[in-house]
Structure 1
Amino acid sequence: MIIPVFLVFAGFVALIFGANWLVDGSSALAKKYNVSDLVIGLTIVAFGTSAPELVVNSIASIQGHSDIVLGNIIGSNNFNLFIILGISGLIYPIKVQTSTAWKEIPISLFISILLLLLLNDFVFEGITSSSRMDGMIMLVLFFFFLYYVFKQIKQEPQGIENTEQKSAFKILTLIIVGIGGLVLGGQLVVVNSIKIANILGVSEKIIGLTIVAAGTSLPELVTSVVAATKKNSDIAIGNVIGSNIFNILLILSLSSILHPINYNSKFNLDLFILIGGTIFLLSSMWTGERKKLDRWEAGVLFMLYHLSCYARSIMLAIKIESSFLIRN
């Protein structure tokens, strides 16, 4: 039991460092070819913080562990929304731009509802999983989202900072080592999380929603908390909303295309929690001070997650105890 836990922890460390190195190398490469910081932030950095989810899900999908795939995405999105945004808002109230209140948050809500409908066969009857067709639909929507992002960039052009450029060798080394760290870390997390689930006698769904989801969300947590301490609200909330959109439209779509995902209807509760939390975030833009997540609203998000985890931990403890009693 100790060795798998240690290896999962080592995997998370490799994922975090791998993601950071990949982002640093990719950002340096973009700057070398005069791409603006805004483009880097909305594309490379956003993808970089979601890279752990991508690697973990790709490995889990190829190996046929559907509950790990879905648990990681749904659990990460809930962790991003309730914990990361909750902590960030408690540190400093988050002001958002009009486009975020009117467009990005509603887009995130729409995608979450669409995911619920696709997974429960309300769109394609007779398809009992997240099929390759579902994956293609989400991937097409992802390209539409990218088009929207670049359209926003054209409306608000940004200058390029004159920063010291890294050598081509250093850039290439960061990218290669970063990818290597992601692949190694992802393999360690998936394999050993499944071992822990088997040892404890709990489902892969629970492991995916908790250990895997929280671990792969660490880059988003660090990014948003640092942004909140620097009173940079756009990065704090943009990182969360952007990552949630990336997770569903890009990562889950690619996972479905790699291997059709069998859907466990027990995930519906967690999807409803995600949808409810997004609706609460959207409504908070129009309560109290407009277009702002106040501290009390961030506190509500934070507490709601803990209440759901407390209820889940009680159920998990009962299940583990029952499992040990049956074995003995």
Structure 2
Amino acid sequence: MSVILVLAGLALLVVGGDFLVRASVGLSFKLKLSKLVIGMTVVSFATSAPELLVSLHAALDGVSDIALGNVIGSNVANIGLVLGITAIISPLGVDKDFYKLNWPMMMILSFALYYFLKNDNVLTALEGGIMLAALIIFLVILIRSSRKSNKANLEDVDDSLAVVSNFKIAVWLLIGAAGLYFGSDWLVQGAKQLALAIGISDYAISVTVIAIGTSVPELAASVIAALKKEKALSLGNLIGSNIFNIAAVLGLTSIIKPIVVNPATPEILSTNIFWMIGFAAILIPMIIIPKRFEIGRLKGMILFGAYLLFIFIALK
């Protein structure tokens, strides 16, 4: 039953997230927001909604291990699993601007999260608010920078949603909200039952099974694009997802319900958060050595191999 709940929860999260993105973009067009702002804020927030609902549901349910494991695991999976497998299939070119803003912000937030948690084993509402405020400032700078350079990646914004009726947007919002609510609830309950059944912690399930599950849509889209020899993914978007996971998902969750590190899972601060920071940090030397601004098959294999090692240690 626990496996069915986990799979059904993941499926509902994927469907609910997709409908929420469509509804959010359609509504943003109605509000006359520019395509640039929609792509960089609305789409990013909407695509982080599944992780947000899972973390929020877990925190309110008293299992903050799942809230933390979901984000730490997702950030590791984005680089080790999604980027690693995609690069193995088809080498990826890297935008030279990514290390000027996106990467430093990801590193700052990663270290900030570690500091806040290490300080008193709690991510408080104030600390969550600081990270959320940092995200808003980052987005303002990013939008201004993109307007000046005209390099914004707007492929995620579907122009056809500009002419969608208000009724359809409302229906999509309802479907999306219902999918995210019930999907996150089933996933958290299923994860707790599964952890109990196989004798491992809630955290171990969240940092592996849940994190992989929430990364599947991105992985599938990237693999299909790579096989078709199309542009598989944007490293900037992948890093952006990690930024939103820390600042928006954990930031908003901790504002509503402070996230406490469970003394029974010391590996959160002693091991796994360093994996998250390590995967983020390794991108710079990996991109500039030996072939500049490309992640080829060998680098992809290294990332994926490191991810498999992370999973093995997490489940040990």
What is the CA distance between 1:223 and its match in structure 2? Answer: 4.1
Q: Is the 8 A contact 2:58 2:64 kept in 1?
A: yes
Report the 3-state secondary structure (helix = DSSP H, G, I; strand = E; otherwise coil) of the residue aligned with 1:30: helix
Give the distance between the partners of 1:250 and 1:310, measured in 2 at CA: 28
Report the 3-state secondary structure (helix = DSSP H, G, I; strand = E; otherwise coil) of the residue aligned with 1:102: coil
Q: Which residue of structure 1 aligns with residue 139 of structure 2?
A: 146
Q: Which amino acid aligns with 1:294?
A: G
Q: Is the 8 A contact 2:24 2:46 kept in 1?
A: no
What is the CA distance between 1:91 and its match in structure 2? Answer: 2.4
Q: For 1:52-82, what per-residue CA distance to the aligned partner results, in whole angstroms no more than 9, with x for missing partners?
A: 1100111111122111111111011111110
2:185 is the alignment partner of 1:184: no
Q: Which amino acid aligns with 2:7?
A: F
Give the distance between the partners of 1:276 and 1:297, measured in 2 at CA: 15
Report the 3-state secondary structure (helix = DSSP H, G, I; strand = E; otherwise coil) of the residue aligned with 1:285: helix
Aligned CA distance change for structure 1 residues 221 and 48 (closer, same or farther; 3 Å): farther
Aligned CA distance change for structure 1 residues 47 and 227 (closer, same or farther; 3 Å): farther
Give the distance between the partners of 1:52 and 1:223, measured in 2 at CA: 17
Report the 3-state secondary structure (helix = DSSP H, G, I; strand = E; otherwise coil) of the residue aligned with 1:64: coil
- Which residue among 91, 94, 97 is the counterpart of 1:93? 91
Q: Is the 8 A contact 1:101 1:285 kept in 2?
A: no
Report the 3-state secondary structure (helix = DSSP H, G, I; strand = E; otherwise coil) of the residue aligned with 2:48: helix
What is the CA distance between 1:96 and its match in structure 2? Answer: 2.1
In structure 1, runs of 5+ residues without a counterpart are: 122-126, 316-328
Give the distance between the partners of 2:83 and 2:126, measured in 1 at CA: 32
Give the distance between the partners of 2:111 and 2:286, measured in 1 at CA: 19
Give the distance between the partners of 1:211 and 1:192, measured in 2 at CA: 11
Give the distance between the partners of 1:251 and 1:99, measured in 2 at CA: 25
Q: Which amino acid aligns with 1:182?
A: L
Q: For 1:5-24, what per-residue CA distance to the aligned partner results, in whole angstroms no more than 9, with x for missing partners?
A: 11211111100011111111
Give the distance between the partners of 2:112 and 2:225, measured in 1 at CA: 30
Q: Percent identity?
A: 36
Write out aligned runs for 1:123-138 (5 A): 127-138=120-131
Aligned CA distance change for structure 1 residues 222 and 297 (closer, same or farther; 3 Å): same
Q: Is the 8 A contact 1:220 1:239 kept in 2?
A: no
What is the CA distance between 1:282 and its match in structure 2? Answer: 1.4
Matched pairs, number: 306
Give the distance between the partners of 1:178 and 1:166, measured in 2 at CA: 16
Q: Which amino acid aligns with 1:136?
A: G
Q: Which residue of structure 2 aligns with residue 175 of structure 1?
A: 173
Q: Is the 8 A contact 2:36 2:143 kept in 1?
A: no
Q: Which residue of structure 1 aligns with residue 231 of structure 2?
A: 232
Moved more, 86-95 or 297-306: 86-95
Q: Which amino acid aligns with 1:115?
A: L
2:298 is the alignment partner of 1:300: no
Moved more, 14-23 or 202-211: 202-211
Q: Is the 8 A contact 1:37 1:161 kept in 2?
A: no
Write out aligned runs for 1:269-280 (5 A): 269-280=271-282
Aligned CA distance change for structure 1 residues 38 and 88 (closer, same or farther; 3 Å): farther
Alignment TM-score, normalising by the size of structure 1:
0.86
Q: Which residue of structure 2 aligns with residue 326 of structure 1?
A: none
Q: Is the 8 A contact 2:207 2:314 kept in 1?
A: no
Give the distance between the partners of 1:57 and 1:311, measured in 2 at CA: 22
Q: Is the 8 A contact 1:223 1:236 kept in 2?
A: no
Write out aligned runs for 1:240-319 (5 A): 240-264=238-262, 265-268=266-269, 269-313=271-315, 315=316
What is the CA distance between 1:119 and its match in structure 2? Answer: 1.0
Q: Which residue of structure 2 aligns with residue 114 of structure 1?
A: 112
Give the distance between the partners of 2:30 and 2:224, measured in 1 at CA: 26
What is the CA distance between 1:33 and its match in structure 2? Answer: 4.5
2:51 is the alignment partner of 1:53: yes
Q: Is the 8 A contact 1:224 1:237 kept in 2?
A: no
Q: Which residue of structure 2 aligns with residue 44 of structure 1?
A: 42
* Cα root mean square deviation, aligned: 2.2
Q: For 1:82-137, what per-residue CA distance to the aligned partner results, in whole angstroms no more than 9, with x for missing partners?
A: 0011112222222222221332122212211221111111xxxxx33112222122
Give the distance between the partners of 1:172 and 1:178, measured in 2 at CA: 10
Q: Is the 8 A contact 2:275 2:310 kept in 1?
A: no
Q: Which residue of structure 2 aligns with residue 325 of structure 1?
A: none
2:14 is the alignment partner of 1:16: yes
Give the distance between the partners of 2:251 and 2:34, measured in 1 at CA: 28
Aligned CA distance change for structure 1 residues 14 and 274 (closer, same or farther; 3 Å): same
